[in-house]
Amino acid sequence: MLTLTGVGKRYPTGDRALTDIELTLPKGQVMALIGPSGAGKSTLIRCVNRLVEPTQGSIRLDGTELTKLSGHKLRHARRSMGMIFQEYALVDRLTVMENVLSGQLGYVGFWRSFLRRYPQEAVVEAFRLLERVGLPHAIDKRADALSGGQRQRVGIARALLQSPKLLLVDEPTASLDPKTSRQIMRLIRELCAERELAAIINIHDVALAQQFADRIVGLRAGEIVFDGLPSELTSEILTTIYGEEDWDTTPEPMDDAVSGDEATNTAPINPPYARVMSSIEAGAAR
Amino acid sequence: MPVSTTPQGQPVWRRRTTRAQWLQYLAWLAGVSLFLLCWKLISDNTMWVFVEDAGRQGADLISRMTPPKWGYANVLWKPMWDTINIATLGTALGIMMAFPVAFLAARNTTPHPLVRSLALMVIVSSRSINSLIWAMLLVTILGPGVLAGIIAIALRSIGFVGKLLYEAIEEIHPTPVEAISATGASRLQVMNYGVLPQVMPAFAGISVYRWDINIRESTVLGLVGAGGIGLQLNASINSLAWDQVSVIFIMIFATVLVSEWISARVRHAII
Amino acid sequence: MSEHARQQAAQRGQWRRLPLIESPRLRWGLAIGAVVYLFLALTSVEVNWARVAEGAGRAVNFLGAFMQPDFVSRYDDIVAGLLESLTMTLTSTVLGVLLAIPVGLGAARNISPLPIYFVCRAIIAVSRTFQEIIIAILFVVMFGFGPFAGMITLAFATIGFMAKLLAEDIEDLDWRQVEAVRATGASWWQTMNHAVQPQVMPRLIGLSMYRLDINFRESSVIGIVGAGGIGATLNTSLSRYEYDTSAAILLIIIAIVLLCEYSSSHVRRWTQ
């Protein structure tokens, strides 16, 4: 369904973010994209919906060449790709309902959206989605009055209101605690299954990726270095992706360099994965 | 190196290196001589006899200003109403024009860099020229009256509101804007959903603040014929009716205090 | 509408944005009030359309003059006026800032005793309420025509501006740092020098640069009432309808303000 061929991105400063990316994503597949900070994960998914312009290669979604689109056609293409962000990216001063309804912006004209006169079906669907993510009571709350996990649910509802074929998910759990992270990942997973959505999920947390994805792609310095099933991910492969680190032994008690969020991952929710995860974070931090 | 060693081998700490210290002395010397030079120029153009006389003149002025001729206040209600109208209508007109200019001038919302520099030029010229100069210009063009005052205030407000607003726009969080673009929203929709809610409180605050400043400025526009209470002020000064001038001063003082209070209240409510 | 009712309506697909002001009576009251005021205000503006039409030609002349400003024919007047403006700006800013520092310290509630606080706040209020031009009128009467009156005017206005902002700055400075220095046994002066000054200095310099810029702009108008500077030259050229000279003066003012702003942004980055 989504095919990337020879995609590259070079920033005007000369930094190479992506080199020759080849990737095919069939319908309904949930793919996790892992790699150290700065490997180009965010750039890659932003190239797909053209928030970042790729400098070479082609990206095709259901036969449409995305890299050549402009104006009206680009809007059409974007509305079929829902995006979920790391810091939720809600508009703080709008209410939850307005934030969810902004998923319809690709479908309605300017004046309708300006006056907030959305079609009745859109409002029904928006409310249904809010119920699905568990926030029907919050419709009139302002987005900045919600907790992190609730905001991410609103972000998910907004992305789904676009009736997308593909979800682009950028670090959905990076600002959340371990329990909420798992709930959010499970929700994304279930919603993808319900609607047969394909998804690309950028994620730092290797344990979560292994648990919730069908396929894992490892990115290092803008190149794909691993592409396979979660079960195939071994410590040698992690070393090629993230660099030298002792992946199997229990790390020493965390030093201060590891911030609270990451340290809490050592809690006994999921010990084997959690250890892998924290050592990766510690390695990346050094 | 701020830490050096004495001949005895003791480390010595000083705040600056010798070179930096000398440079600083030199900068101070240059500054002070520039100030003295300017002072000299001013004092050459000053009649010191008059300055020595200032104390007596001031006392004389105060004795003529008191007691204020309270009855004169009745003549002032209409000019005061005009003054407030000049400020309010001028502010309204000014912010209407400043709003699009600010969006064109902000780096993250401008359609083209060329448009941006044009918008910045509008803002700079509006800001550099005092509203009194705008009023002088407009009085020669439109004739004396309230209209010239309103337009003068509006023209001056464009720069002020435009500058503060475009800075606010440049400081918004980029992620909500990115998220709204990712839904397939058009350019205007991105402005409406992603940018506008973020800058609205700043915009309202800036507008009220400018209104408060404009009340002050509109009290003097009459000095050059652009309507309002300044006309009466000018007439009273020209006829040396200082007891009327003091009434006008008291009225201006009261109005400005009230407007400042309102503006502070409104800004507080917004935040 | 209650929250529950809104949820039910949303379930059926009927949803409206929350109104900005919740009480409908207040909402409509404000809207009607605004319309009535606008109507009264607009009807009280008297416009002499014949005079405006007559002025249209002048407006065209003026815009034309901007295309070919005349710097030459009043060269001496412009240079003299400009020099006077610049010297006034510099001296008044220096004097004003120096005087504003004690007033600002006195007007900060957290470091000064109550009587001094009230006196300093009163000075600030008076200096801020009146436009520079009104103060200039009084000082011209007292000190006679010329740049001296202008300089005193601008210095006086600078005191109010700087002292208010300085006082606010001191009021929200980080008190823990002050306590830490005080805990070492420092005297009042030492506390000022080691805890307060480092915290407020960068902003004080930034504000002084900003005020320099404002003072220059103001110095271009107080000449209208005889307090020296380029304003007098500009006023004369406008009343003689010598628009090309006025345009030249305005362009010079804009250029100098731009230069001021550009250099002050550099100075601010440097002191930060």
Closest chain B residue to C61, measured at CA: B141
C-contacting residues in B 145-174 (Cβ below 8 Å) = 145-147, 150
Q: How far apart are CA C199 and CA C181, in angstroms?
A: 13
Query: What is C72-271's CATH number?
Result: 1.10.3720.10
Token representation of residue A244: 């030298």
Structure tokens at C200: 């407020």
Largest CA distance in chain A: 60
C6/A120 Cβ within 8 A: no
For residue C258, the chain B residues in CB contact (below 8 A) are: 124, 128
Q: Note whether residue A125 is domain-resident.
A: no
| pLDDT value for A176 | 84
Question: With contact defined as beta carbons under 8 Å apart, do A277 and A242 qualify?
Answer: no
> Is a pLDDT exceeding 60 seen at residue A98?
yes
Within the 7-66 window of chain C, which residues sit less than 8 Å (CB to CB) from chain B?
A: 37, 41-42, 44-48, 51-52, 54-56, 58-59, 62
Say what the pLDDT of residue A258 is: 38
Question: Which residue from B minimizes the CA distance to A144?
Answer: B198
Tell me the pLDDT tens digit for each residue of A138-160: 888 888 888 888 998 899 999 99
Q: Are the beta carbons of B128 and C253 separated by less than 8 Å?
A: yes
Its pTM stands at 0.80
Residues of the domain holding A33: 2-80+164-241
Quote the mean pLDDT of chain C: 85
Cβ of C185 under 8 Å from any chain A Cβ?
A: no
pLDDT at site B253: 87
Q: Are C116 and C179 in contact (CB under 8 A)?
A: no
If you ran DSSP here, which 8-state letter would residue C18 be given? P
Q: Where are the domains of chain C?
A: 72-271
pLDDT at position B92, please?
94
Any idea what the CATH number is for the domain that residue A175 is in? 3.40.50.300
Q: Which residues of chain B fall below pLDDT 50?
A: 1
Q: Which of A160, A153, A158, A157 is nearest to A181 (CA)?
A: A153
Give the per-residue pLDDT at A248: 64
Q: What's the gap in Å between the CA of B172 and the closest CA on chain A? A: 11
pLDDT of the residue at A264: 37
Lowest-pLDDT range, A114-118, A267-271, C120-124, C209-213? A267-271
In 3D space, the residue among B179, B249, B264, B175 whose CA is nearest the CA of residue B216 turns out to be B249
Our CA-based measurement puts residue A190 at a distance from the nearest CA of chain C, in whole angstroms, of 23
| Residue found under tokens 């009021």 | C171
One DSSP character per residue, B106-164 reads STTT-S-HHHHHHHHHHHHHHHHS-HHHHHHHHHHHH-SSHHHHHHHHHHHHHHHHHHH
State the complex-level ipTM: 0.81
| Residue A277 confidence (pLDDT) above 70 | no
Question: Are A124 and C18 within 8 A, CB to CB?
Answer: no
Q: What is the number of domains present in chain A?
A: 1
> Could you confirm whether domain B79-270 is CATH 1.10.3720.10?
yes
Spans of all domains in chain B:
1-39, 79-270
The 10s digit of each residue's pLDDT in A226-274 is 888 888 888 888 888 887 766 666 544 444 433 334 333 333 333 333 3
Render pLDDT for C179-206 as a digit per residue (tens, 0 to 9): 888 888 788 888 888 888 888 888 888 8
Q: Which residues of A touch C (CB under 8 A)?
A: 95, 97-98, 101, 116, 118, 120-124, 126-127, 136-137, 139-140
Q: Calculate the average pLDDT of chain A.
A: 81
The pLDDT value recorded for residue A107 is: 87
Among the partner residues A116, A123, A137, nearest to C13 by beta-carbon distance: A123
The CA-CA-CA angle for residues B266, B269, C3, to 5°, reads 135
Residue scoring higher pLDDT (C1 or A268): C1
Nearest-by-Cβ selection for C7 from A95, A116, A139:
A139
Position A76 in a domain? yes
- Best CA proximity match to B168, nearest among B224, B134, B206, B128: B206
More confident residue, A266 or C171: C171
Query: Given an 8 Å threshold on Cβ–Cβ distance, is C15 in contact with A137?
Result: no
Confirm if A238 and A210 have CB atoms less than 8 A apart: no
What subunits touch chain A, counting only 3 or more CB pairs under 8 A?
Answer: B, C
pLDDT of residue A29 exceeding 60 = yes
Closest CA to B64 of C145, C142, C126: C142
- pLDDT of B80 reads 92
pLDDT digits (tens, 9 = 90+) for C25-82: 888 999 999 999 999 988 888 888 888 888 888 888 888 888 888 888 888 888 888 8
HEC states along B123-137?
HHHHHHCCHHHHHHH
